Chains A and B, each alone.
Chain A
Amino acid sequence: MRRILEIDGEEIPVWLAATGRGHVLHMKGREIPCALEAAAGKGAWTLLLDGARIPMRIAVGEGATFIHVNGRAHAIGRTDPAERLGNTAGASQDRMIAPMPGVVVSVLAAAGDAVTEGQALLVIESMKLETTITAPRDGIVAEVPFATGASFGGKEVLLRLEPQEETV
């Protein structure tokens, strides 16, 4: 079973397999036997890897796993490649992604609206700077997930257009 992990900006495809004796992580051409044992406390685990026992705290978020190990917290992006294929077809044209966290100042379009390329759709504020998000192409608005005044995180989808119909 595969996952694509993002560790420190690097995308790493991995594969987890089960053997009679436990799990093996396949990564960058290597096979790494490993196991995770529950420990005392919320989100507390001990990772067994390469003969070492490594205590850590883990919180599994929606698209990322957060791990505190050796005195530092890390956020690891986690994607199921099967899901990714479905979601990202034409992503750059259909989905407007927040470059950084901010607040929606005003919403200028609603789901179902027909919009034309260059039309203002949303005004957002990040780092005390206002930015107007415009339509990258003509189309129909499928979804505007955030209302005026709502906060959003970096990389969250701010607006989605209906997929473009194939013109034959």
Chain B
Amino acid sequence: MTARMSIRKLLVANRGEIAARVVRTARAIGIRTAVLRHPAEVDAPAHRIADEVVTIEGATPVAAYLDIAQITALAGRIGADAVHPGYGFLAENAGFVRALDAAGIVFVGPTGDVIDLMGDKVRARRFVEERGFSVAPSAIEDDNPEDFVQRARAVGYPLLIKPSAGGGGKGMRIVRDAARLEAEIETARREGERYFGDGRLFVERYIENPRHVEVQVLGDGRGNVVHFWERECSIQRRFQKIIEETPSPALTPGQRREICDAAAGIARAVNYRGAGTVEFIRAPDGAFHFLEMNTRLQVEHPVTEMVTGFDLVGEQLRIAAGQPLGLRQEDIAQTGHSIELRVCAEDADADFRPAIGDILLLDEPAGPGVRVDSGILDGGRVTTDFDPLLAKLIVHGRDRDEAIARARRAAQDCVILGVTTNLAYLDAILAHPRFRSGDVSTGFLAEEAEALQQGRDPAITDILAAATVLSDARLVKAVDSVPEIYRMMGSWRN
């Protein structure tokens, strides 16, 4: 961390836990920091630790964080020489990169052209396929709309229809029955038009019981690329990850090397600059196919940091400052096992409905091998303005069993009172025999929904009732002020 940086002041164009996480690294390497705050937002950890807090305006807080012109102008006004976009918001927006370029401000991430290429799922998979990497058998409507249905049929069943402009699982349809193909294509087209304003489709072979395995890569834009091994992210609800780990319990050493080399090869093919993630779908027979490349830091990057010992944000900033990679692949080892839990304000018993409320009491877990990346403060408030991620609990252990034990301890020790969270649900997943044995796929949470419903020991009703009435100050005061004579009558009656 002694390398001299040419970045002197960094604006973090994000919020929540990731804003605080980026600020911490920047401060440690001697970069001054600024973060944003919309008037409707409550104070968060980033506001406490940044050197400067700048107000952004917007009809809604989300609109403000997506306002390219305002954020670019603001970065110039405060004299920031670089902007870190975090994840989400403008992290994969080529227009933002170009606006910053025009203003002479460094974007901490890849070039706008690479973002454009990887952001177009159809172009990206073609690019990757043409360079000899595996993608699932597919048919793309745009190639020739007239024979799309015939080509889709040739892909084989089950198949998955996806909107070309899509993302986040929206508008995807699985087809198992050949007779349903045309009807499902029409439905998917209508959904694509509704969600994305674009009805173009592609289909690919649907992999049953797949795992989601992704690889962290880092490049310097000068042809040097290394990988930081894989992450397994198969524990998903509504196509969104809630538990990630590394190493993947599914891979043999040979398979691990193969998938990681493929990811580094793909990043090298685009002369990648910065931190990125290449996502793969892995079939039960071990075959893996390119899914997409995310051209940003991922939510789950800390598990990689825990097993490799590298600070990925530090590496991002070094590369953004124009320094060469300076790392060889053999310098990056995986040591032990790491698991991340995404703590979300949501009701796991009610279809993961987002929850809101005041944070009346917050006490985060600690101990050997425990890291907390938190976006909330005691006394804060959770609203529906942003996504429900409150904090991430990240643990490290010598092996997977130790990591699971530490993750359970951290989930149970994490005290968040006043708003419903998924902590008990996360703990139930960690305790499930299939998770413990590593036998999971992306369908795991849906398949085991019933087993994961939190059962309750009936004896605890007494404890909860007694604690509730005894902590009710008004009730206790009223009870204690009843004259002694009536109290005695009360006991005689019994």
Contacts and interface: CB of A to CB of B under 8 A. Distances in A.
Interface of A: 1, 3, 5, 7-8, 12, 14, 16-20, 23, 25, 27, 31-32, 34-36, 41-43, 45, 47, 49-50, 54, 56-61, 65-76, 78, 80, 100-103, 127, 149, 151-154
Contacts of B464: 5, 7, 67, 69, 74, 76
A66 B415 CA distance: 10
Contact of B361 (A31, A43, A54, A102): A43
Contact of A31 (B412, B467, B494): B494
B491 A42 contact: no
Given A42-B361, A151-B385, A60 B472 contact: yes
A18 to B, nearest CB: 5
28 contacts: A5-B465, A7-B461, A14-B469, A16-B475, A17-B479, A18-B479, A23-B476, A36-B470, A41-B363, A42-B378, A43-B361, A45-B467, A49-B463, A54-B463, A57-B415, A57-B417, A60-B471, A61-B360, A65-B471, A67-B468, A68-B415, A68-B417, A73-B421, A100-B350, A101-B384, A102-B384, A149-B59, A153-B356
SS class, residues of chain A in contact with chain B: strand
Contact of B360 (A36, A56, A66, A72): A66
A34 B465 CA distance: 10
Nearest to B59: A149
Given A31-B494, A66-B417, A67-B467, A59 B360 contact: yes
List the 6 shortest-distance A-B pairs measured between CB atoms, nearest first. Answer: A71-B412, A59-B360, A66-B417, A59-B417, A36-B470, A34-B466
B481 to A, nearest CB: 9
Interface string B188-214: 000000000000000000000000000
A154 B358 CA distance: 13
B361 A57 contact: yes
A7 B412 CA distance: 20
Given A66-B418, A100-B353, A45 B471 contact: yes
B292 to A, nearest CB: 23
B322 interface: no
Contacts of A151: 356, 383-385
A122 B136 CA distance: 47
Residue among B411, B427, B470 with the highest chain A CB neighbour number at 10 A: B470
A65 B460 contact: no
Contacts of A20: 487
B479 A73 contact: no
Contact of A27 (B353, B462, B487): B462
Contacts of B77: none
Nearest to B357: A153
Interface residues of B, number: 54
B150 to A, nearest CB: 36
B97 interface: no
Contacts of A8: 456, 461
A86 to B, nearest CB: 16
B111 interface: no
Contacts of A50: 462
Given A76-B468, A78-B468, 13 more contacts: A18-B479, A25-B462, A32-B462, A35-B470, A42-B361, A54-B463, A57-B363, A60-B472, A65-B468, A69-B463, A69-B464, A75-B420, A102-B384
Contact of B475 (A1, A58, A102): A1
A130 B59 CA distance: 19
A103 B61 CA distance: 13
B490 interface: yes
Contacts of B420: 75
A47 B356 contact: no
Interface in B429-484: 454, 456, 460-473, 475-476, 478-480, 482
B281 interface: no
Interface string B350-386: 1001111110110100000000000000100001110
